[in-house]
Amino acid sequence: RCPRTHGHLMERGRLRRLAGLAVGARRLATRAAISPAVRLPGALQRSHFSHSLGGTRRLRQFANSNVAAPPITRDVRNGSAVFLSAGGVVPGSLRGFHGGWMLRSDGDGMGEGDPEGGVAPGEDKGGEELFGDGDNVAAVFEGDQETGSQLVSRDNDWMPAEVIVIPVFRRPIFPGIATPIALTNPDFCEAILKLKSSTGSYPLVGIFMTKQPTREEGTPITSTEDLHQIGCLGQVVYIHGVQQLGVQLLVAGAGRILITGTVRTDPFLTVSIQKCKDKPFDPTDKMIKAWVLQIISTMKSVVKLEHSFKEQLQTALTQVDVNNPSLLADITASMTTADRDSLQNVLNTLDVQDRLSQALRLLTIELDQAELQKSIHKQMEDSVSKMQRKHFLTEQLKIIKKELGLEKDDKEELIQALTAKLAELNAPPAAEKVITEQLKKMSMLEPSSPEFNITRTYLDWLVSIPWGVSTDENFDVKKAAKVLDKDHYGMKDVKDRILEFIAVGKLKKSVQGRIICFVGPPGVGKTSIGQSVASSLNRKFYRFSVGGMTDVAEIKGHRRTYVGAMPGKAVQALKSVGCNNPVIMLDEIDKVGKGYQGDPASAMLEMLDPAQNAEFLDHYLDVPIDLSHVLFICTANSLDTIPGPLKDRMEVIQVSGYTAEDKLHIAKTHLWPAARAEAGIKGSQVSISQDALRQLISKYCREPGVRNLQKQVAKLLRKAAYLIATGEKDKLSIGMSNLTTYSGPPVFPTDRIYERTPPGVVMGLAWSSMGGTSLYIEAAVVAESEGGKGSMRSTGQMGDVMKESSEISLSVAKRVLRDLAGKEGGGGGGFPG
Ligand code: ADP
């Protein structure tokens, strides 16, 4: 690093000594290839050149070439970099030294100097190399009025008469700024390269911005009409690349030029130009100074906000010559991200004060944008950091809580929750003991172990049993009678029994569990009355079917050692209803199966028997539970198949089938309104005549229950709903005349085959647990000549009872005939055979 001041550098001897360092730095820079990370004060650079170019002659040559090394700063926003003029900062004494170029690169990579203290002969390739590989650099330079060198100075009146045009599309190039330009057209590249070889090292070109921001691919700009008339004379200070692949130029803006005419358009547009001079102004003018100061202060504000701008602007602030407001305006404008037209306007402006004001406007926009950007950035940062902070704090809180023992891990939390639940429970001592033991066991188990989960599930069951929880019962007999009557017509026996039950409970002030069994054919309302009983007693209702049940475990639960073990139905029922006095209905108790896994009937007895079930022991739960408050209601179609011990303990209530008259009532008061509501039909929309209902009962559903009748009614109403929904009918009434339209032809056409039964035919009655029916029994005498054999043959599917009956009737008939024959023929008559 060479932290020398420029003043010092004036001492010749020292200058030389420093040259070694400079070369070292340059070498490093060359090795780094791109934007050499070297920071050299301009004067140092000069000394380096003097050394590396080998003597005074070359030094002069270089000095004459006015190549000063401006500081490089990278403008990350528009992809270019800016070399700022050294003019403003180079100490006066140095300026005397031809006031030439300074090349200074930006960065921190300056080494401690060349260990060899110099540069190897032939290694240096002259000033050009200082641009490294020309990576995005631009230069601001200050001209030399006396030399008339190839490099054109801003203030130099020397101008070429004509220049080849390099059109730019995005933004114009400003005097004093060096900008990289990429050329892709190989012919054009060649032209520029040729220009370089023919004119010497630094060819001059005219850089003009096109009027249109884009152009069609492959169409070259051939007319000055397409270009803004004021552009910038550019000096190609560096060329890099291969002609075929395109080249990169570093073009230093040398001064404003105006197109005065077209010289030729082929092969490339070449124009005649004229220098545009700034309007004369007084640099000491107060207004101008004020503008300059304002620009500088705005720049300072931008620097504070816009970090990407920072180095560039900071350098500008230190380097810019406040005495050259024209240059300041150009630099300021070129550093902004303003649109192409605004920039071109600045370029077009020859009045310096006006230009300053425009530049300030653009810079102020930049400031606004930077402020906006900063506020957005801050908002984002705030929201992100808020989240991070929250996360961080919660993590911290967790750790602190753990340290203080305030927060436990999941297992402990679970144990705590279960312990809290246990405290709320009114569990009997036996259950409480088991729960406490299990909790202790769980606290010692690893949460990941299978045993832990088994224990956890077991505990869940244990604490979810409604130990000692019961619902308030209804002891109001009248109210209960009302509820029962509302839901069901008839069923007097059932209703009476339930009301008696309530009455006893009222007097005793407590009710003990009972087993009631409704026996009757299907569809007579056994199940549905069970529900009504529950609601009349104000108890919860739970129902399950035991038909076909063969496994004892379904009643008594599995042992916990089984995988997927579950408690039995009784425990499940209690958990589900959440109280210990529900009505539990066991459907189809007459159809309990008998399997190889024990006898469910005996398990059921254990569950149902009021004498035993106060201490019902479920295999899974393994703690006795009290089922004595449960009202068990069983349903069965037949008493015969109910296991004896179970039957003994039940209060059997026969629910017989309904007569046609009963059915009519039920249909009218219950089935029809319920089905109508189900179909979404209003009472005013559909009606049915009593006769039609009777017909429906006698000709369509003859079973003892009303389930079929219910289906028929629902069918009628479904059809009615269709007609109403499709708009075919508004309302309809169903009568005898149109019944078949809705319900189809009768299933049982008629009752009677004979109006009067002929001899040998009697009306009989068949009955089973599923109901009964009338039937004709016919007897016919067959003569021996017709195949009769003196015996009786019976046809049809007859059971033993029927067979026996027919045998009896035969012997009765024989006796009657014999007696008749005896009376008529003195005992000689015989059986007709
Ligand atoms: P079961 O259990 O005897 O086979 P359900 O209880 O399932 O019969 O009854 C079948 C349908 O008949 C139920 O919708 C029920 O409401 C109705 N039902 C049966 N008997 C009556 C009745 N006496 N009054 C009103 N509806 C009844």
Cβ partners under 8 Å of residue 250, min gap 6: 131, 134, 137, 138, 139, 178, 179, 180, 181, 236, 237, 238, 239, 240
- Tokens for 17? 């000594």
Atom of ligand 1 nearest to the CA of 491: 23
Residues 180 and 141 in one domain: no
**Residue 243: predicted pLDDT:** 65
Q: Is 489 in the pocket of ligand 1 (CB under 6 A)?
A: yes
Residues 611 and 676 in one domain: no
Residues 231 and 85 in one domain: no
Q: Is 254 in the pocket of ligand 1 (CB under 6 A)?
A: no
Which of the residues in the chain have pLDDT under 50? Answer: 1-156, 827-833
Atom 10, ligand 1: which residue's CA is nearest?
523
- Asked if residue 805 belongs to a domain, the reply is no
SS3 at position 587: strand
CA distance 84 to 55: 28
CA of 59 to the centre of ligand 1 (A): 121
CA of 350 to the centre of ligand 1 (A): 106
Q: Is 526 in the pocket of ligand 1 (CB under 6 A)?
A: yes
Q: Is 495 in the pocket of ligand 1 (CB under 6 A)?
A: no
Residues 118 and 183 in one domain: no
- Asked if residue 62 belongs to a domain, the reply is yes
**Residue 747: predicted pLDDT:** 82
Which DSSP letter does residue 243 get?
Answer: T
**Residue 2: predicted pLDDT:** 36
Backbone angles phi and psi of 2, in degrees to 5: -120, 80
SS3 at position 777: strand
Instruction: Choose which residue among 524, 708, 709 to substitute to test ligand 1 binding: the one with the highest number of ligand atoms within 8 A of its C-beta.
Output: 524
CA of 491 to the centre of ligand 1 (A): 10
- Asked if residue 156 belongs to a domain, the reply is no
Residues 719 and 735 in one domain: yes
- Tell me the pLDDT tens digit for each residue of 326-357: 888 988 888 888 899 999 999 999 999 999 99
Q: Is 523 in the pocket of ligand 1 (CB under 6 A)?
A: yes
CATH of the domain at 685: 1.10.8.60
Which of 743, 765, 796 delimits the end of a domain? 743
**Residue 158: predicted pLDDT:** 62
**Residue 206: predicted pLDDT:** 92
CA of 556 to the centre of ligand 1 (A): 30
CA of 524 to the centre of ligand 1 (A): 5
Which of 221, 256, 275 delimits the end of a domain? 275
- Asked if residue 301 belongs to a domain, the reply is no
- Asked if residue 681 belongs to a domain, the reply is yes
CA of 495 to the centre of ligand 1 (A): 14
Across-strand partners of 178?
A: 252
Which of 151, 176, 195 delimits the end of a domain? 151
Residues 631 and 667 in one domain: no
Q: How many CB atoms lie within 10 A of CB 680?
A: 11
Atom of ligand 1 nearest to the CA of 520: 3
- Tell me the pLDDT tens digit for each residue of 641-660: 888 888 888 888 888 888 88
Q: Is 701 in the pocket of ligand 1 (CB under 6 A)?
A: no
CA distance 21 to 692: 122
Helix (H) / strand (E) containing 69: strand 69-74
Q: Is 58 in the pocket of ligand 1 (CB under 6 A)?
A: no
CA of 672 to the centre of ligand 1 (A): 13
CATH of the domain at 594: 3.40.50.300
Residues 512 and 604 in one domain: yes
CA of 632 to the centre of ligand 1 (A): 19
Closest of 688, 643, 642 to residue 667, by C-alpha: 688
**Residue 596: predicted pLDDT:** 67
Q: Is 514 in the pocket of ligand 1 (CB under 6 A)?
A: no
Residues 631 and 694 in one domain: no
Q: Is 707 in the pocket of ligand 1 (CB under 6 A)?
A: yes
180 in Cβ contact with 250 (< 8 Å): yes
- Tokens for 739? 């019944």
Domain tally, the chain: 5
Q: Is 491 in the pocket of ligand 1 (CB under 6 A)?
A: yes
Atom of ligand 1 nearest to the CA of 706: 12
- Asked if residue 101 belongs to a domain, the reply is yes
CA of 572 to the centre of ligand 1 (A): 26
CA of 519 to the centre of ligand 1 (A): 13
- Tell me the pLDDT tens digit for each residue of 142-165: 333 333 333 444 444 567 888 899
Residues 637 and 729 in one domain: no
- Tell me the pLDDT tens digit for each residue of 684-693: 889 899 899 9
- Entry field: residues in the chain: 833
Q: Is 633 in the pocket of ligand 1 (CB under 6 A)?
A: no
Instruction: Choose which residue among 498, 526, 654, 670 to substitute to test ligand 1 binding: the one with the highest number of ligand atoms within 8 A of its C-beta.
Output: 670
Q: Is 349 in the pocket of ligand 1 (CB under 6 A)?
A: no
- Asked if residue 756 belongs to a domain, the reply is no
Residues 441 and 490 in one domain: no
Instruction: Choose which residue among 528, 529, 769 to substitute to test ligand 1 binding: the one with the highest number of ligand atoms within 8 A of its C-beta.
Output: 528
CA of 529 to the centre of ligand 1 (A): 7
CATH of the domain at 253: 2.30.130.40
> Residue ranges of the alpha helices (H) in 545-586?
553-556, 569-577
CA distance 336 to 338: 5
Residues 547 and 616 in one domain: yes
Residues 511 and 449 in one domain: no
Alpha-carbon torsion 171, 176, 181, 186, what sign?
A: positive
**Residue 620: predicted pLDDT:** 92
Burial of 352 (0-12, 13-18, 19+ CB in 10 A): buried
Burial 15-47 (b: 16+ CB within 10 A, else e): beebbbbbbbbbbbbbebeebbbbbbbbbbbbb
- Asked if residue 558 belongs to a domain, the reply is yes
Range of the domain at 225: 162-275
